Amino acid sequence: ARRLRPLPPPTLPLVTVQDLRDGLKHPARWLMYSGDYTGQRHSPLKQITPDNVRRLAAQWTFQAEGMVINRGYETTPLILDGVMYVTGNNNLAWAVDMKSGRLIWRYRRALPAGLTYGGANPSNRGFAALGDRLFMGTVDAHLIALDRNTGEVVWDVPVEDYKVGHAITAAPIVVKDKVITGNAGGDLPTRGFIDAYDAATGKRAWRFYTIPAVGEPGSETWSDPAVLPRGGGATWMTGSYDPELNLMYWGTGNPQPDYYGGDRQGDNLYTASLVAVDADTGKLRWHFQFTPHDLHDWDSTHVPVLADLTVGGQPRKVVMVANRNSFFYVLDGVTGKLISGKPFTSTKWARELGPDGKPIVLNSGAMMPGDTKEPQCVPDLRGGTNYNPPSYDPSLELFFVMARESCAIYTPVKQEMVPARSFMSGGMKKLPEPDYGAVRAIDPKTQTIKWEYKLPTPSLAGVMSTASGLVFAGDNEGNFNALDSRTGKLLWTYRTGSLIWGAAATSVMLDGRQLVLLPSGNTIVAFGLLGLAGLQARS
């Protein structure tokens, strides 16, 4: 790739609160991690169709420096007015001209020595935007605001102590005048939270702890109060927002320690849950726990997908979650009550939910001391799906998810907690079969799988659908695939050369041409249809 001189910084229109509420109505913009507040990651664009997608070809690539872990980009670029804003490992960030792939500015964060969680997992999943600012969490547990035109720091505030084990890897989300983010580090002795900060000043407005304090509601679900200050429940993925209800929906991670539950008997609220909090105050409205007393490291840090569905003849606001525990859930978005839930994989851990919404566990998958026979396997620690984003097509009423079929046996071990060190208390043995992945289309009304596109190995690639009838999804072998959203038929594939891990595609219009962008390894590739005037390939 040729080294090109950075372009002069542009002066760009401000991003307004109304722009954020409008989401993907502006075809040239992708303004937040999921595209809009619903978490649907569904593009309304229709230029690329099932009939012409075979003409899709790479137009330019942007290759990043400093990508130090083999899984590469996990980010979703923001695209505003012809400029792409993208984050990478170790809190590198870039502004790139969308017409040529040329660099406009670069941000490099000076990270301290002795990082704990962020040292082993330096990934970052993207920016949020408001006004002329971009907002990013850092692996040393700060939240920063950058000038969108120049990349210069406007403010920089500490969120928590990275030396204890905290970090921020999720893309923040802006709601009204607040920047909302969560913490990573739940495999260390930390306490999870969701924070809101004033976008103008960086001053913290509120904090909701996902692990209650002694005496607070939920604390009775922990047998030992001493565990509470370090109980886990990290919030390391981006949430969704309903402006009408003014509710933030956010997934929470595993309890601490991960595999051994003898010192934390009980359901361990609010871990492995979805919490709905008031966006103005951070007060809890409701919660739903997917995996009570989790013993498998099954974080419920998924992107909650919001939609309007007719259920039983009545219109309902719903939240849909394809969970790491291999169940697909439809919840009432107002109350949090379970509407329906069924497995979307062949898991042997549980096959149905009880009247209270709790899984009826058939097999823990654990080898306890003194056991002589291995138990029947259950999904591995990455579960039936993971944090990689799903998608939802509201016209077809189909939910698209990257499903994982895997098998593992867990061994819990009582260990002594050491501050600022990983505290898993056990291990997992992955078995050879089953071991594959599949893009699956789920009907949320009937809880049936309408189709699947099978992959050779379990994948952590995300999914994006489009209004023209396409589903874009990567895989672990580095293929970027376009499927027919009605049938799952493979229509087009592109070999990227790197595995696609945690990332999903985005799509915008630029100069009359629809582009699809995909992070793969340390490269972002822009695809467009051959035969249309517009961009020329650059690298």
- Find where tokens 């600022």 sit: 420
Alpha-carbon distance 86 to 107, whole Å? 10
How would you list the strands of the sheet with 153-158, edge to edge?
128-130, 133-137, 142-147, 153-158
In terms of DSSP bridges, do strands 42-43 and 463-466 run parallel, antiparallel, or are they unpaired? parallel
Residue with tokens 């004033």: 198
- Concatenated DSSP letters of 244-311: TTTEEEEE---BSSSS--TTS-S--TTTTEEEEEETTT--EEEEEESSTT--S--------EEEEEEE
Question: For 477, left (φ over 0), alpha (ψ -120 to 50), or beta?
Answer: alpha
Residues 6+ apart with CB under 8 A from 385: 302, 322, 323, 324, 326, 344, 401, 402, 403, 404
CA distance 269 to 521: 36
Q: Does residue 371 have an active-site annotation?
A: no
Closest of 219, 88, 145 to residue 502, by C-alpha: 88
d(CA 1, CA 136): 28
Residue of 297, 299, 380, 475 with catalytic role: 297
Residue type at position 114 = G
Cα–Cα distance measured from residue 342 to residue 357, given in angstroms and rounded to the nearest whole number: 11
Helices and strands: H and E segment counts in the chain: 2, 37
User: Residues 513, 491: contact at Cβ < 8 Å?
Assistant: no
∠ at Cα 464 (99, 466), nearest 5°? 80
| CA–CA separation, 359 and 361 (whole Å) | 6
CA dist list (Å): 455 to 166, 345, 385, 469: 35, 14, 14, 21
- Known catalytic residues? 297
